[in-house]
Amino acid sequence: MLVLVAPGQGAQTPGFLTPWLELPGAEDRLRAWSAAIDLDLVHYGTDADADEIRDTAVAQPLLVAASLLSARQLFPTTEDVARDVGVTGGHSVGELAATALAGVVSDEVALSLVRARGMAMAEAAAITETGMAALLGGDPDTTLAHLDKLGLTPANVNGAGQIVAAGTREQLAALEADKPEGVRRVVALKVAGAFHTHHMAPAVEKLDTAARSVSVADPVVPYVSNRDGRTVSTGSGIVTGLVGQVANPVRWDLCMETFKERGVTALIELCPGGTLTGIAKRALPGVKTLALKKPEDLDAARALIAEHSSTAE
């Protein structure tokens, strides 16, 4: 059983889309999406520096566009996804890409929603200086209690020994100076706010307004929500969850539990892959994983699909 996942914010690096635009039709597709959402995705994916693509209003549409651009090389249509993919999901903003791949909205609608999401979250992040940091290692219960003591929110519970804390810069500085027992490292993330916390509450209403204007369909493949790791069977339920998730923690650990329960045998992470496959290697032993980093990875992905799709013999 094949799982298809899309990465979240922080996975972007300068120039990461440059080789992808050499594929037939890729640049034209990206330019069309750029025009539709009034954001130069080609520039940000090829020439922009790290600070430019760290901007939440840029990073979020860029990441969803990258995931969809790479996905359409493997699954040109919704029918292709339905034929080969057993489950889909995304980490944080990656949920918008997964929503399109599940057939709930079109690629263009997903990009319009993520454009609204990114701008709303950037505005919310500007109210107070906040950020996020990944904690590696340690006992989860001990770590969560320590974060609570410091006033930090466990914004991402990723599993495999990784929790991401979010809060004010002062709170994060206190965490760096006083790590929870057993935590090996505290790594600041390349994001511009305390996402999936109460600091993002102002963005929820704006995204809800944008979401009310779009048409949705029910998913053609099981879609796993960040909220609680459960599958959501209606398009309206998925979009409602996307809105509320902006200010609530990502439970990627529970998503992986669902993948396991449904019998996952292989997992492909869309461009710019690496983070989620790294977690899966630790949390889902025995599952074959592949991260789409460059177009050269597509042939290996096609071979994995042929071996693990629902139609494979």
Q: What ranges make up the beta strands (E) of 195-304?
A: 223-224, 231-232, 266-269, 288-291
| Catalytic annotation, residues | 92, 196
What is the average pLDDT across 108-136?
A: 95
CA 128, 131, 135, 140 torsion: positive or negative? positive
Beta sheet of 87-90, edge-to-edge order: 231-232, 223-224, 87-90, 2-6, 266-269, 288-291
User: Which residue did the predictor score with more confidence, 160 or 102?
Assistant: 102
At residue 66, does pLDDT exceed 70? Answer: yes
The burial of 85, by beta-carbon neighbours within 10 Å (0-12 exposed, 13-18 middle, 19 or more buried), is given as buried
135-193 confidence digits (pLDDT tens):
998 899 999 999 999 999 999 999 878 899 999 999 999 999 999 999 999 999 878 88
11-65 confidence digits (pLDDT tens):
999 999 999 999 999 999 999 999 999 999 999 999 999 999 999 999 999 999 9
| 8 A C-beta contact, residue 304 and residue 2 | yes
Q: What pLDDT was estimated at residue 312?
A: 60
Encode burial over 230-244: b for 16+ CB neighbours within 10 A, e otherwise.
Answer: bbbeebebbbebbbe
Q: What pLDDT was estimated at residue 205?
A: 93
User: What's this model's pTM, rounded to 2 decimal places?
Assistant: 0.94
Rounded to whole angstroms, how far apart are CA atoms 66 and 58? Answer: 12
Rounded to whole angstroms, how far apart are CA atoms 40 and 37? Answer: 9
36-50 confidence digits (pLDDT tens):
999 999 999 999 999
At residue 313, does pLDDT exceed 60? Answer: no
Instruction: Give the mean pLDDT of the chain.
Output: 95
Q: Which is it for strands 153-159 and 162-168: parallel, antiparallel or unpaired? A: antiparallel
